[in-house]
Amino acid sequence: MLRIFLQRCLSAIPVLFLVVLFTFILIRLAPGGPFDDERAVPPQVLENLNKRYHLDDPIHVQFFDYVKHLLQGDFGPSFKYPSRTVTEVIYAGIPVTLELSLYAFLVALVFGITSGVIASLKPNTLQDYVPMSAAMIGICLPSFVLGPLLILVFGIQLDWLPVSGWGVTPGDKILPSITLGAGYAAYLARLSRGGMLETLSQDYIRTARAKGLSGWRVVFHHALRGALAPVVSFAGPAVAGLLSGSFVVETIYQIPGLGRFYLQAAFNRDYTMILGMTILFAFLIIICNLLADLLLLWLNPKLRGRK
């Protein structure tokens, strides 16, 4: 396990470097600049701004200078918020984004695994068709459609839940969490159902039933652990998707997380903010996939020799 962990950490270094390189090149190739706005900036002022932020240097000089500061933990100043650094903005937004992603992941786990297990107990019956049909709807309905629908029904028509903000009341976290987690709950439901159907057909499950064990004991004590292997494999990409998918949800519900800062940085061509948040999300995605792989190896030791 330790060897696999170290190998993955070492392989993450060139991946992060390529993320930095391609992001740096792409944002420089995009038309416009961080100081282009509706008002005309005098040439002398624009020249001074470019000199202040070293944007008049050759692009390779800018890149290596950025990497040098990055290795020291400095993401640079924000062009949109001159009085704040990118690190300060990240520290302000990351707790909200992580909290939202955690709630959405819990929603996905609870509803997804529960629906999949229930559907697998009686395949090709109404008990199977209903949750799997709901799962298919969840897969086909993106968050930018589901969010406004939930706001319309539960926020405006029924007036049960708030439709914007974060942390004012516990209720304002319900709709964003459901919006973000619903699609992944649908995928987990189908994966759980498939894993359970495959596990329930194994010989050791028949042996457990032949010994007279109750149905729920067979499911939870014997079958569920083996059936969760595809769920665990999907957990890493799911968490990564929840983190990156929070952009849309945070915008819909006016949540002050990293997603809103990221979108504002893209619209304002805030080079350092885009770079800093891209690196952060790439790092979080690598960590999520690594933890999912280690958990899968712990659940199934047979896989350790293949890594």
Each domain of the chain, given as residue ranges in start order, spans 86-306
In this prediction, residue 36 carries a pLDDT of 62
CA distance 142 to 182: 9
pLDDT band at 38 (very low <50, low <70, confident <90, very high): very low
pLDDT at 213 over 70: no
pTM of the entire predicted model: 0.73
Mean pLDDT of 207-219: 68
Mean pLDDT of 6-16: 77
Mean pLDDT of 186-210: 76
Specify the range with the lowest mean pLDDT, choosing from 42-46, 67-71, 216-220, 258-262. 42-46
CATH topology of domain 86-306: MetI-like fold (1.10.3720)
pLDDT at 154 over 80: yes
Q: Which amino acid is at 214?
A: S
Percent of the chain with pLDDT over 70: 79
pLDDT (tens digit per residue) in 235-260: 777 777 787 777 788 888 888 888 77
In this prediction, residue 302 carries a pLDDT of 59
Mean pLDDT of 129-140: 82
CA distance 181 to 86: 28
HEC string for the chain:
CHHHHHHHHHHHHHHHHHHHHHHHHHHHHCCCCCCCCCCCCCHHHHHHHHHHCCCCCCHHHHHHHHHHHHHCCCCCECCCCCCCEHHHHHHHHHHHHHHHHHHHHHHHHHHHHHHHHHHHHCCCCHHHHHHHHHHHHHHHCCHHHHHHHHHHHHHHHCCCCCCCCCCCCHHHHHHHHHHHHHHHHHHHHHHHHHHHHHHHCCHHHHHHHHCCCCHHHHHHHHHHHHHCHHHHHHHHHHHHHHHHHHHHHHHHCCCCCHHHHHHHHHHHCCHHHHHHHHHHHHHHHHHHHHHHHHHHHHHCHHHHHHC
pLDDT (tens digit per residue) in 39-66: 555 566 556 666 666 666 777 887 888 8
Percent of the chain with pLDDT over 90: 0
Query: 20 or 11, which is more confident?
Result: 20
Mean pLDDT of 93-111: 86
